[in-house]
Amino acid sequence: MKKLYVVGIGPGSIENMTLKAYNVIKECDVIVGYTKYLDMIKEIIEGKELYSTGMRSEEERCRLAIKLAKEKDVAIISTGDAGIYGMAGLILELCNEEEIKNVVIVPGITASSAAGSIVGAPLMHDNCNISLSDLMTPYDEIKERVDFAAKSDFIISLYNPKSKGRPHYLKECIDIIRQYRDSKTPVAIVKHALREGQNSLVTTIDNIDYDLVDMMTIVIVGNSKSYIKDGQFITPRGYNTRC
């Protein structure tokens, strides 16, 4: 039995990958992942056995990776962190079923951290991630979490904010958050953070241009103390910065 690595490749540029993720990918014989993710790291996977297209579901891809890891070292890749809406959980669940113990999870920079670094320091206080994808979570549950997170004054990073099938969810969730936030609350809209095509905007909760948002975007909403200064989105930690 060889090793099965579940690797978070970070946002998608080689320089923002951890050294461990880089080394693991370099050393594995087989790489499994979406075509567009493989494409992001193509310069380091040349000549390896690649599995991407032709697999309908994530489960199918995970099962294939588990099977291949019986013979060779395999890396199955996610963007960002593999443990945040990535492949780590499903791999472990499937491996537990089969009592397979050769899994190693390699973390990466998740989208909220990547986006945060571009717009300033929005995540400096207690924060949470909420995915607006209703493929596996009922929309009512998502809205309830948004409500509780807003009520509890968390900074909220909205993953999977928009898709063709659910164009209105983002606005509906922002409307929930607005019940608890000032109209000037900072909002960051960051597309393709730290990879080719990067685009970012810092605005306020009342001025969001929803047309800018798509599935390649993350939306970060500040807490009640977040502010914008010289275009930077800052959430104070609470240090006394007055001299």
**Residue numbers of the site for ligand SAH (CB under 6 A)?**
11-12, 78-81, 84-86, 110-111, 114-115, 159-161, 190-193, 195, 215-218
149 or 193, CB closer to ligand SAH? 193
40 or 69, CB closer to ligand SAH? 40
Pair 158, 219: CB distance under 8 Å: yes
87 or 234, CB closer to ligand SAH? 87
| String of DSSP letters for 186-200 | EEEEEESTTSTT-EE
According to the 3-state scheme, what is the secondary structure of 57-114? Answer: CHHHHHHHHHHHCCCCCEEEEECECCCCCCCHHHHHHHHHHHCCCCEEEECCCCHHHH
Residue whose C-beta lies closest to ligand SAH: 80
| Shortest separation between residue 168's beta carbon and ligand SAH, angstroms | 16
**Interatomic CA distance for residues 85 and 81, integer angstroms:** 8
33 or 80, CB closer to ligand SAH? 80
| Shortest separation between residue 207's beta carbon and ligand SAH, angstroms | 20
Reference 91, options 80, 103, 108; nearest CA is 103
Reference 219, options 107, 86, 125, 129; nearest CA is 129
| Shortest separation between residue 124's beta carbon and ligand SAH, angstroms | 19
86 or 122, CB closer to ligand SAH? 86
| Shortest separation between residue 46's beta carbon and ligand SAH, angstroms | 23
77 beta partners? 7
Pair 71, 60: CB distance under 8 Å: no
| Shortest separation between residue 128's beta carbon and ligand SAH, angstroms | 14
| Shortest separation between residue 188's beta carbon and ligand SAH, angstroms | 10
78 or 223, CB closer to ligand SAH? 78
